[in-house]
Structure 1
């Protein structure tokens, strides 16, 4: 009887310890990559083409997630000529967008770096600008990126359709 009670208590503690998905106040409240009214409006393998002063800029939604500081983040790769840059994001169910880092530059959880809230869905307009280091991206709710500003200049959607999803 005593043994059964101990096993029952251990089982209860095990279940209680596994059922809570505690999140830090310094990060998103879910691992969702696609919200109902998504700001990125891109999914795995989607590609968006933009034209600008440096030629064609491609935004590629990578078909993988990355474990960054205990959270699974989606990757968005920027291709401009022969240069590739990858940023890591989490879009909450609420639509808020968190930046988890840039490959080769910084990542949340390394050297004290924290994820950065770059878009608060509760206060964002239908069109909003997100600052990502040396880039600024204009996002339209449900449509995704509609303009990209880089040190090279402004990039607009490719009028021919380019490599869009």
Structure 2
């Protein structure tokens, strides 16, 4: 993966293509492969292409931030997200998004941002990790989402999600507030089950299907 300038991107893609042909280090990306010249998913993320923090305006993950969601129909608690510093994966510093369900189940996902501002999903703790057992990092959020963009969020055993940008700038009202600077993404898993996620600029995820944001605490 190369994300610096157009010339660097082209050179990186050629080098990666040669590497995969020569040694079979990863499977070829399946359509839709990605946006803006990126190889998505990528079997070989380069640490020099990444930065230490995730500050993409659509998916900001500053350690210490906290998001709380509830079912919009019943008002019952649905999910709590918290961001914290994550482990290093193949030389790449990550930020971990901790998902806590009402029953106490915890899922820890690791993300990293490249120099162009794209956010990548590098693994789920205890389940898969980019570079291990054929798993490949996928695109969690482009730096500049555009209507119709399609990309894989990851590729790992039992996981083959495809995301598509469905709307931009649609007004969305959740229990906490109304947002008009939004990106709506539809994510379809390998079984064909789809979910809709809405992200607000400067906040992050504000809705998943019928679950809406009820509280957001910025890092202190």
Select which of 45, 57, 60 maps to 1:41. Answer: 60
Displacement after TM superposition at 1:114 (Å): 1.4
Q: CA RMSD in A?
A: 2.8
Q: What does 1:43-82 correspond to in 2, within 5 Å?
A: 43-52=62-71, 55-62=77-84, 64-81=85-102, 82=104
The aligned residue for residue 213 of structure 2 is 157
CA distance in 2, matches of 1:137, 1:101: 19
Correspondence for 1:14: none
Aligned-residue offset at 1:85: 0.6
Residues 123, 42 of structure 1: alpha-carbon distance in 2 compared, 3 angstrom cutoff: closer
| Contact kept? 2:93, 2:112, Cα under 8 Å | yes
Match of 2:185 among 123, 129, 132: 129
Aligned equivalent of 1:144, options 190, 193, 204: 204
Give the alignment's TM-score, normalised by structure 2: 0.52
2:50 maps to which residue? Answer: 30
Which structure has the higher relative contact order (CA within 8 Å, separation 6+)?
1
Q: Secondary structure, in 3 states, of the residue corresponding to 2:61?
A: coil
User: How many equivalent residue pairs?
Assistant: 134
Question: 2: distance between equivalents of 1:132 and 1:72?
Answer: 28
User: Could you tell me which of 35, 59, 84 is aligned with 2:106?
Assistant: 84
Q: Which ranges in structure 2 are unaligned for 5 or more consecutive residues?
A: 1-11, 17-38, 147-167, 169-181
Match of 1:42, SS state, is: coil
The CA distance in 1 between the partners of 2:135 and 2:126, in whole Å, is 14
Deviation at 1:94, TM superposition (A): 2.7
State how far apart, in whole Å, the 1-side matches of 2:186 and 2:116 are: 17
TM-score when normalising by structure 1: 0.66
**CA-to-aligned-CA distance 1:76-131 (integer Å, 9 cap, x gap):** 01111211111111123433111111112211111121111132224434413274
In structure 2, the CA distance between the partners of 1:136 and 1:92, relative to structure 1 (3 Å rule), is farther
- Of 69, 74, 94, 2:116 maps to 94
Gaps of at least 5 residues in structure 1 are 1-22
Contact 1:119 1:130 in 2 (8 A): no
